Amino acid sequence: MRTKVAMLSSRSTTAKLLHSCVARNCLFRGAQDPPGLPRNPIRQRRDAERIYADMDDTHPSSLAHQIQMYHDQIRDRVPADVAETLTRELAVLAKSEIASRSLRAGARAPDFALPDQSGDVVRLSSVLAGGPAVVTFYRGGWCPYCNLQLRAYQGILPDIVALGATLIAISPQTPDFTLSTTREKGLDFPVLSDIGNRVARHYGLVFVLPEALQELQRKFGNEVPRFNGDDSWELPMPGTFVLSQDGTVRLASVDSDYRRRLEPQAILACLNGLR
């Protein structure tokens, strides 16, 4: 199933495109460079710099465009067998329609209490007491698409705050790796550790990474069990939820294809509609 995006809003609005990312860090985590794959951190920074060099305040870029630019940078370095495996396994995930089981617009968001990058416990109900919330689930700091998304959302953080809302990101990474992600990516919003995907499970996002993709991640140097502190190879599908102050899901975007992410301006449009 392709991206599921649903939205409930009191009125429509237009949100401007914003300058989303800064090329400060490599997009992958990994120990070695398998032949033909872009694992070298210096090369990865250069890839990012090429992407961000064309961006300025007069020529903003959508998140989808940034992802496409990243694809263009690495296309020639991805072996054909790796590309075929990714395409095949993503098609299998889409056919399973796992995204259709996730939390939908109009539902009440399950409450949770999780530690942030500083070790403080963040409770959703307490956040909502102060205004709307944007809750985004990501796979981990080892995922380049997650890193592009988190940086893009960091770019609109002042606008989210100005609209009276709070941005929260959640992954199954252990607190140590969560802290590393926030420091390396320069994130100024709460990033929470959902050990065992307990909260992600309540939002209908959890799946086991197929064996073929597990093997690819090992080749990439991404030992997901080490990052997550267990051997389950369970991950959340990328999912972003905009919640009104009463905890109702006003916008839900979930995709079994990790390469597709919700645009920042869609978040701002929904938040504007809640005013």
Tell me whether residue 10 is in a domain: no
pTM: 0.80
In a domain, 13, yes or no: no
Residue 129: inside a domain, yes or no? yes
Q: Where are the beta strands (DSSP E) in the chain?
A: 4-7, 113-115, 121-123, 133-137, 166-171, 191-193, 206-208, 234-236, 239-243, 249-254
Rounded CA separation 89/105 (Å): 28
> Does a structural domain hold residue 59?
yes
Residues with Cβ within 8 Å of 119's Cβ and at least 6 positions away in sequence, in order, are: 175
Q: Does the residue 193 lie in any domain? A: yes
Number of domains in the chain: 1
The helix (run of H) or strand (run of E) holding residue 112 is none
Nearest 5°: the CA angle 98, 104, 110 is 100
What is the per-residue pLDDT for 32?
35
Calculate Rg over the CA atoms of the chain.
18
**Do 132 and 159 touch, CB atoms closer than 8 A?**
no
Tens digit of each residue's pLDDT (9 = 90 or more) over 20-59: 332 223 333 333 333 344 444 334 434 443 443 444 443 4
Q: Which CATH number do you get for residue 42?
A: 3.40.30.10
In a domain, 175, yes or no: yes
Find tokens 């109009």 and name the residue: 106
User: Rounded to a whole number, what is the distance in angstroms from the first to the last CA of the chain?
Assistant: 32
Check residue 12 and give its pLDDT.
Answer: 35
Distance separating alpha carbons of residues 243 and 266, to the nearest angstrom: 13
User: Is 239 inside a domain boundary?
Assistant: yes
Point out the residues of the chain with pLDDT beneath 70. Answer: 1-60
Range of the domain at 99: 18-273
Token pair for residue 154?
A: 């960091």
Task: Answer for the pair 51, 22: CB distance below 8 angstroms, yes or no.
Answer: no
